[in-house]
Every structure is written in C-alpha cells, then in structure tokens.
Chains A and B, each alone.
Chain A
Amino acid sequence: MIVATVGNVLVWAVWVLAAFACLGSAIAVVSFSNPFFSALALIGNLGSLAVLYLLLSSEFVAAAQVLVYAGAVMVMFLFVIAYVGPRTESPWTGGPSWQAIGSVLAAGALLVEIVVVIGLKAGGALAHSHDVGGAFGTPSYIGRLFLTDHLLAFEITSIVLLVAAIGGVILGAHSRTATDEVPPL
C-alpha cells in the first residue's frame, strides 16, 4: 500500500517535471529570436517528450525519439544554422500587423477547441485506460507489428526516405553547379 502510494507520487512528480519542461521549452523555441537557441530549446523539448513516452510505456518510441530526433535531425538543424549564420529577424515595423493578430487568434482558437474537447471527454472514456502487458512497446513488439500488420507502411517509409535523400542531394548540387545562370530572385 505504502509502496504503491510512493510509486504513484513518484510517477506524478516525473510527469509534472517532464510536462512543464516540454511546454516551457516549446514556448522558448517559438519566442527566441536566435535560431541557434531555438534549436537548443527544441532538443530539451524532444528529451522531455521522450520521458513522457517512457511514462506511457513506449520504450522503443522513446529510444527512437532520442536517436532520430534529438540525435540526427537536430544535428542537421544545428549544422545548417551554423552554415547560414546566426541571423536574427528584422523587428516588426509599424506595430502588430493583421498577420500577427490573426495568427494569435487562430492558434488560441485551436488550443481552446482542443482543451474543451478533451475536457468534455475527460470524465468518461478517457478516465479508465486498459491494462497493458509487459511486452507492450518493446522492440520485439514494434518489430512484429511492423513486419506483419503494417508492412506496407514500413516499405512506403523506406521509399519516402530514399526520395528525400535524392531530393536533398539535388537541391544541394543544383545551386552549386548553376550559380552563374540562375537569375537573381
């Protein structure tokens, strides 16, 4: 009984820490003016999301999140930011534009909509989740699903990655060979 209570408090404490780190770093990504700091904040966001995935007993997805996102994708981001140079945005001219006001209204409406829908459903179907077995979310579980039920998604993912790699090479090579004949934009 006492062990269960201590465990419960511990899970809540880890959840609150991870959730607030996640939300705070998301706001930091959007509000920093230097893209380098935004990318560093996004690494924190991805790490705290991996903690939330672990709390949801999705160990493989948490590991993939840290390896793929916080490792590979963010290294690519930081490399490009270092290549382009740390340029900050030019400040607003002439007060808040109609674009900024519309953006805030649209994002706020979306957030309110999501929270209201979750709040309406929170007491009913969302309150009691199913029990999961010990194998849920392990690499063998994910691998079996990928190679049996979701084989088509797995193969299409490989084609998407191949096309993206070819596209990246073409985008990089085109502007290197043809800088002279490209008209200025």
Chain B
Amino acid sequence: MGPNTAWYLGVAGFLFGVGTLGVLIRRNPLIVLLSLEIMLNGANLALIAFARHLNNGDGQIFALTVMAVAASEVVVGLGLIVALNRKRVPLDVDRLSSLRG
C-alpha cells in the first residue's frame, strides 16, 4: 500500500544533494543556512523512513533531536549574521575569511 521505503529514500537523497549544492555554491550566508536546513531535513526524512520500515521508534527520536539541534544552530548562525551586519561587514561567505576578533 503506497510507495515503499526506497522512494522516500530517493527523495531524501535528492534533498541532501540539493542542499549540498546550495551550501557549496551560494555566497549569501542566509541562503547557506537555509540550504543547511534542507540537508538536515533530507537526513530527517531518511531517519523517519527507516523508523517506519523497521517498526522502531528510535529513528523518530533521532529526528526530533536533529530538529532541536537545527534550531540551536539557526539561533547561533542568525546571531552571527546580525553581529556581522552591525559591523557593516559585507554578507558574503567568500569575503569572510579571517577570524580576527
């Protein structure tokens, strides 16, 4: 009944690939963070597909933990972007190459 696990894993792999492309190729740090969310969601979809496949709830627990870690990562990333914007630094990851405090 319905598509089997391989179809869901295909969607998850495609999401991960598209997210990787966005992280590598885009230069606006906001869009890099959004692409990172796509990668995390691809991994989450694979975890949940395997949880359903194996009738084991551990994958769902892992997915929920990934969501919490992603929320923390967004807080810190957006905090960095706001701090960069206050210092009038150009928002371009290719030009943010030094870590001088």
| Chain A residues within 8 Å of B, Cβ to Cβ | 4, 7-8, 11-12, 15, 19, 22-23, 26-27, 29-30, 32, 35, 38-39, 42, 45-46, 49, 52-53, 55-58, 60-61, 64-65, 68-69, 72-73, 76-77, 80-81, 83-84, 87-90, 99-100, 102-104, 106-108, 110-111, 114-115, 118-119, 121-122, 126-132, 136-137, 141-142, 145-146, 149-150, 153, 157, 160-161, 163-165, 167-168, 171-172, 174-176, 179, 182-185
Please state if A87 and B91 are interface contacts (CB–CB under 8 Å).
Answer: yes
Neighbouring A residues of B38 by C-beta, 8 Å: 26, 29-30, 42, 45
**Residues of chain B whose beta carbon lies under 8 Å from any beta carbon of chain A:** 1-11, 13-22, 24-28, 30-31, 33-35, 37-38, 41, 44-45, 48-49, 51-55, 57-58, 60-61, 63-65, 67-76, 78-83, 85-89, 91-92, 98, 100
Q: Known contacts A35-B31, A104-B25; decide if A80 and B87 are in contact (CB<8 Å).
A: no
* Nearest CB in chain A to that of B100: its residue: A185
Min C-beta distance of A66 to chain B, whole Å: 11
Compute how far the CA of A58 lies from the CA of B91 in the bound complex, rounded to whole angstroms: 38
CB distance from A34 to the nearest CB of B (A): 9
- Asked whether, in the complex, the Cβ of B48 is within 8 Å of the Cβ of A58, the reply is yes
Q: Is the CB of A80 within 8 A of B61?
A: no
- Closest A residue to B11 using CB positions: A19
Residues of A within 8 A of B75 (CB): 76, 164-165, 167-168
CB contacts (< 8 Å) of A8 on chain B: these are 1-2
Given contacts A115-B10, A137-B60, contact A65 B81 (CB under 8 A): no
Contacts of B85 in A (CB 8 A): 83-84
A119 CA to B86 CA in the complex, in Å? 49
Q: From A11, which residue of chain B is reached at the shortest CB distance? A: B2
Q: Give every chain A residue within 8 A of B9 (Cβ-Cβ).
A: 114, 118, 126
* B8→A150 contact, CB < 8 A: no
A172 touches B83 (CB 8 A): yes
Pick 15 A–B contacts, CB within 8 A, sort by A: A11-B3, A26-B19, A29-B18, A35-B30, A55-B2, A58-B60, A114-B13, A121-B6, A122-B4, A122-B6, A130-B55, A136-B52, A164-B73, A175-B82, A185-B87
B65 cross-chain contacts in A, Cβ below 8 A: 153, 157
Residue of B nearest to A146 (CB): B61
Are A129 and B4 interface neighbours, CB within 8 A?
yes
Measured between beta carbons, the chain B residues less than 8 angstroms from A142 are: 57, 60-61, 64
